Every structure is written in C-alpha cells, then in structure tokens.
Amino acid sequence: MMKINGGLAIVISFILLACSVNERKQLYLDKIDSLQTVFDSAESHYLLVDTARVAQSIDSINSRLALLMARDTVWSDTLKIYAFIQKSLRSLADDHRKITEEMSYTEQQLVTLKKDIRKDRLPEELMEKYYHAEQEALGELMQKMWFNQQRIDYQLQTFEYLDQHVERIIDRHM
C-alpha cells in the first residue's frame, strides 16, 4: 500500500507541477496578449498620420520656393521659414518610415515570443526577461510614435498657415 501511495504522490506531484508550468506559461501569454493589444491600438492610431499630406506639402513647398527664388524678392525670412518647414517635413517623413519599420519588428518579436513560450522553448527566467525587454521596447516605441505624430501635426499646421501667406505673396507679386 505504501508503494502505491508513494507512486500516486509522485504522479500527483508531476501533474501539479505540469499545471503550475502551464499556468505560468498562460500568465506570460496573457501578458504578451495585453502588450499586443496596447501595441495594436497605438499602431492603428499612429498609422492615421497622413503621409500623403506630408508629401503634398513638401511638393508644394518645392514648387513655390522655386517660383519665389526665381524672382528677386524681399521675403527672405518667409522663405527661410518655408525652407525650414520643408526640411522638417522631410525629416519627419523619414522618421515615420523608420518607426513603421520598428513597428513591424516589434510585432514580429511579440509573435515569436508567444510562439517560443507555447512550444516550451524558453525557461521561465527567459520568459520573464524577454517579456520585460519587449515591454520596455514597446514603451520606447510608443513614445517615438507619439512624439513623431505630434511633430508631424504641428509642422503641417505651421505649413498650412505659412502656405496661405506665401500664396498671397505669389498672387500679389507674380
């Protein structure tokens, strides 16, 4: 009878250990799903940035600067600001491209981490380590996304205001 109870105790121990491991895996999978949900929300919001409007603004600045530079004008301060906005918009468009690449990379990292956890490729210490690394990376990425989006919105507003001024100059003097 003792051998049966001892054997039963070992089997029960293995079952409980397996359950607790599965619970731990599920905990990390749930945490990663939560990160994924936050990322998906931030991504959908960030992708609302109107990159076509940025490109159109840059093209408009290019054509108007060429027109104004062809004439000897006294509006050099306006032209300097206009050229600065052009440079800023180009930089922001490049940053946007880099951020969207980083977003794709982050998405893939989260998918890979979940897959590795499901396939028991990671011990618990690495699950914890990689989860926190992804959490931190996602936080940094979201800050970049927010900051770049705010800068794009501001530069587009500035462009629209200044563009009206430049358009009036062109209409009056050209």
Q: Say how many CA atoms lie within 13 Å of 116 toward its Cβ.
A: 16
Query: How far lies 159's CA from each of 48, 55, 66, 114, 143, in Å?
Result: 19, 12, 16, 44, 24
Q: Given this model, what pLDDT does residue 100 score?
A: 95
pLDDT in tens, 69-121: 766 555 667 777 888 899 999 999 999 999 999 999 999 999 999 999 988 89
Q: How many residues does the chain have?
A: 174
State the sign of the Cα–Cα–Cα–Cα dihedral 53, 86, 100, 48.
negative
Of residues 167 and 136, more confidence is placed in 136
**DSSP helix/strand/coil, 102:** helix
Q: How far apart are CA 116 and CA 52, in angstroms?
A: 38
AA letter at 52: A
Residue 147 confidence (pLDDT): 95
CA dihedral 70, 71, 77, 82 (to 10 degrees): -40
pLDDT, residue 7, reads 57
pLDDT in tens, 138-150: 999 999 999 999 9
How far lies 69's CA from each of 73, 74, 75, 90, 99, in Å?
A: 8, 10, 10, 20, 34
Who's near 122: CB < 8 A, 6+ residues apart?
Answer: 116, 130
pLDDT at 14 exceeding the cut of 80? no
What is the overall mean pLDDT for the chain? 84
Percent of the chain with pLDDT over 90: 50
Q: What is the pLDDT of residue 17?
A: 46
**Candidate from 13-17, 52-56, 109-113, 130-134 with smallest mean pLDDT:** 13-17
35 burial type by CB count under 10 A (0-12 exposed, 13-18 middle, 19+ buried): buried
pLDDT at residue number 8: 55
Grade residue 53 by pLDDT with cuts at 50, 70 and 90.
very high
Residue 164 and residue 158: Cα distance in Å, rounded? 10
Residue 155 has pLDDT above 50, yes or no: yes
Domains and CATH numbers, the chain: 25-173 (1.20.140)
| 75 burial level (CB within 10 Å; 0-12, 13-18, 19+) | middle
